[in-house]
Amino acid sequence: MKHIFVRLDRCTGCRECELACAVEHSASKDLFTAIFETPLPRKRLYVESADGRNIPILCRHCDDAPCLAACLSGAIYRDWTREGVVAQRADKCIGCWTCIMVCPYGVIGRRLEGGRWVAAKCDRCPDRAIPACVEACPTKALVYAEPEEWAAIVRRTAATTLAGQVG
């Protein structure tokens, strides 16, 4: 399963990923009309700032997902039709916010659906080949890759650095 990895040195803090996420989860999927929708669409990832760095924080779709384990109503489930994405059935959400309590990344929010508050979490953009946030990132700080591919990228960078130091 592909995951969204972050090149932590690349994020400029422009928040385009946040906007793209909200637009992708709007009814119209168009920025110019999405801002007039009721309810307003909600983003599902967050660009935080810490120690002088910009850090995009997003759902890891954990293998041992605390939100899934904690969801008593069965709203959060693993969707095996989509390689095991941690998904959500909004109609089953009872609004207990236990998922919000246990998520170690704090990336579950709330949204209005049918006049009722439900949990808002990353669904890995089921209508898209590449998640909207990844596509929106102007500096390619977000990388959509298999964990092995990501590790290979990191290894190559490390190898280049080492080679340079050896001279």
Q: Which stretch binds another protein (CB under 8 A): 15-23, 65-73, 122-130, 142-150?
A: 15-23
Backbone angles phi, psi at 160, to 5 degrees: -65, -40
Helix, coil or strand: residue 34? helix
Report the candidate in 46, 27, 30 with the shortest Cα–Cα distance to residue 38: 27
**42 in contact with another protein (CB under 8 A):** yes
- Segment near another protein (CB under 8 A); pick from 33-41, 62-70, 95-103, 123-131: 33-41
CA–CA gap between residue 113 and residue 107 (Å, rounded): 18
Give strand pairing partners of 37: none
User: Tokens at residue 112, please?
Assistant: 């209005």
Using CB under 8 A as the binding rule, whether residue 32 contacts another protein is answered as: yes
Contacts with another protein by CB under 8 A: the residue count is: 20
Q: Least distance to another protein from the beta carbon of 20, Å? A: 6
Q: Which stretch binds another protein (CB under 8 A): 41-49, 82-90, 96-104, 158-166?
A: 41-49
Looking at residues 138 to 157 of the shown chain, list those that interact with another protein (rule: CB under 8 A). Answer: 138
Maximum CA extent, the chain:
64
Q: Is 57 exposed, middle or buried (0-12, 13-18, 19+ CB in 10 A)?
A: middle
Give, as ranges, the residues between 103 and 132 that touch another protein (CB under 8 A).
109
Question: Which chain residues interact with another protein by CB under 8 A?
Answer: 14-16, 18-20, 22-23, 31-32, 34-35, 40-43, 109, 135-136, 138
